[in-house]
Amino acid sequence: DIQMTQSPSSLSASVGDRVTITCRASQGIANYLAWYQQKPGQVPRLLIYAASTLQSGVPSRFSGSGSGTDFTLTISSLQPEDVGNYYCQKYNSAPYTFGQGTKLEIK
């Protein structure tokens, strides 16, 4: 099975910072990658699909890029409400695995 590895596992950044989270697949998955945000105590929310397509209603400070094995989620200017866990998910084929998550905190 293809493994999905996120880095870092956690990070702390200041409001207004540019934040980048990486997701690496152990084999190529083209652009079949989604990103989710899970705020504390809340349900996961789809942010990005097809590696770089922003889901409707998601703030434009979020962006995704990558193809093949290496993907990034970028927050251009971190806001206090962005605190939470972020997960990538592959969907090129079963199993539809999630990354282990990245915990994002505010300094």
Q: Which residues bind other proteins (CB under 8 A)?
A: 1, 32, 34, 36, 43-46, 49-50, 55, 85, 87, 89, 91-101
Shortest Cβ distance from residue 96 to other proteins (Å)? 5
Shortest Cβ distance from residue 45 to other proteins (Å)? 8
Position 7, amino acid: S
Backbone angles phi, psi at 52, to 5 degrees: -145, 5
Comparing CB distances to other proteins, the nearer of 79 and 93 is 93
Please tell me the distance from the alpha carbon of residue 75 to that of residue 21, in angstroms, as a whole number: 9
Please tell me the distance from the alpha carbon of residue 28 to that of residue 33, in angstroms, as a whole number: 11
Backbone angles phi, psi at 74, to 5 degrees: -120, 135
Shortest Cβ distance from residue 85 to other proteins (Å)? 8
Say which DSSP state 86 is in: E
Half-sphere exposure of 21 (CA within 13 A, CB side): 33
Shortest Cβ distance from residue 81 to other proteins (Å)? 19
